[in-house]
Amino acid sequence: MSIDEQVIRRLEDFILAERNLTGIANVPFQHNGKDVSGYAYVRAMNKPLVAALSELSPLLSHADRKLRFLEVGSGIGTKCQLAQLLGYAATGIDLVPEYVELAQHIYFDCDFHQANALAYNYEPFDIVYYHVPFFDDELIAQLENRVLSQVHAGGILIATRISPALTRFLDGGPVPHRDYAVHRMRLGQDIGRLVVVRKTVPMKQT
């Protein structure tokens, strides 16, 4: 799939301006009784994700259904639409209702929902992707753990940045007990700064 980043960015700028959504600031929400913040829609390069999804598709394919892709912090839905064009069943979640409503209007072949990523159910998805959803590494670590504990064995997390806790876990360092194992995948295509983590079934203790 050929991607022109400049054309996509200009199109997104136009759409956001038409809906007066260019000035949305950081998004406050509550988590475990505390006031925390997430980023508003932060755009990331599309080519690396398209490259990753293209390479992963034949490795994960199911004979009886489409692969299920989820973007956390999907904004106006561009990356979900790209995943859909690559053959995935694409879903996006975002805290900002205006983003969700706009994405539903533009990309009707995808599913979009207003949802808190730290309370969402990730079990149905084969691939979960996000760019930079939170300021706080602790919140990112909580999201990583929620995603990787819920997706099936073989499920994949793709992120622009991972927490120090997940980095230690991948490197075999000391972390709190987890009931799953993971490994970092090295893909053949150029995926930029993206990190691809696959869940595996841990070996039983003897």
Domain ranges of the chain: 5-200
Residue 115: burial class (beta carbons within 10 Å; 0-12, 13-18, 19+): middle
User: Could you tell me the pTM of the whole model?
Assistant: 0.90
96's CB contacts (< 8 A; 6+ apart) are 24, 27, 40, 41, 75, 114
- Assess contact for 103 and 92: CB atoms under 8 A: yes
Residue 55: burial class (beta carbons within 10 Å; 0-12, 13-18, 19+): middle
Mean pLDDT to the nearest integer, 145-162? 96
Q: State the chain's maximal CA–CA distance in angstroms.
A: 61
Mean pLDDT to the nearest integer, 144-166? 95
Mean pLDDT is lowest, of 102-106, 131-135, 156-160, for: 131-135
- Residue 74 and residue 131: Cα distance in Å, rounded? 9
pLDDT digits (tens, 9 = 90+) for 40-71: 666 789 999 999 999 999 999 887 899 999 99
Q: Is the pLDDT of residue 205 over 70?
A: no
Please give the pLDDT value at position 88: 97
How many C-beta atoms lie closer than 10 Å to residue 203's C-beta? 7
- Residue 151 and residue 202: Cα distance in Å, rounded? 14
* Domain spanning 5-200: CATH 3.40.640.10: no
